[in-house]
Structure 1
């Protein structure tokens, strides 16, 4: 899948624009389904490694939102959880409320 195709697919996720879609592409994410089962923290670490620096923590929050979007059926998604800023540090790493720790 090309970068252009990946950007088109990933930007359907709330909070993901061209730049973050490119970040995801750079770490091997090509489809929304590729986010299922992924650790947002590991995605963030991989993106930092690729970029060669620690990026803004907001990127981690966007990754948490993106994994939630990918793992949660459309009819079960909580609209508040589709806002990346609602994924700030809470002390929990569970990205899907339907999953038990």
Structure 2
């Protein structure tokens, strides 16, 4: 079995995800995500907009970077630091 697949199968709580601590996990729970595998196929930009709507505040755009990092990771990509997705987020937001 591929090592990264094993790693993903061992994820039990949201804080097991790369780039997710207690605050990030709390944001995910607000979105109705309680298990890492619930991130598969999710749209990180929509997650961000939903979080802003639910909390009635605009969150730092870097939250989008984190959401991209964890959705990509759960979709099978290697774990990468959230700031690796900043340029992609800027392009994504500009085109939305």
What's the TM-score bracket when you normalise by the shorter of the two chains? Answer: 0.7 to 0.9
- State yes or no: 1:29 paired with 2:53: no
Q: Which runs of 5+ in 2 are unaligned?
A: 1-11
Instruction: State the TM-score, normalized to the length of structure 2.
Output: 0.76
Decide which structure has greater helix share.
2
Q: Which residue of 2 aligns with 1:68?
A: 72
Q: 2:85 aligns with which of 84, 87, 93?
A: 87
Residue 92 of structure 1, CA deviation: 5.0
Q: What is the RMSD computed on CA atoms of the aligned residues?
A: 1.7
Q: How many residues in Structure 1 have an aligned counterpart in Structure 2?
A: 80
Q: Which residue of 2 aligns with 1:47?
A: 51
- State yes or no: 1:17 paired with 2:29: no
Consecutive aligned runs of 4 or more in structure 1 exceeding 2 Å deviation: 89-93
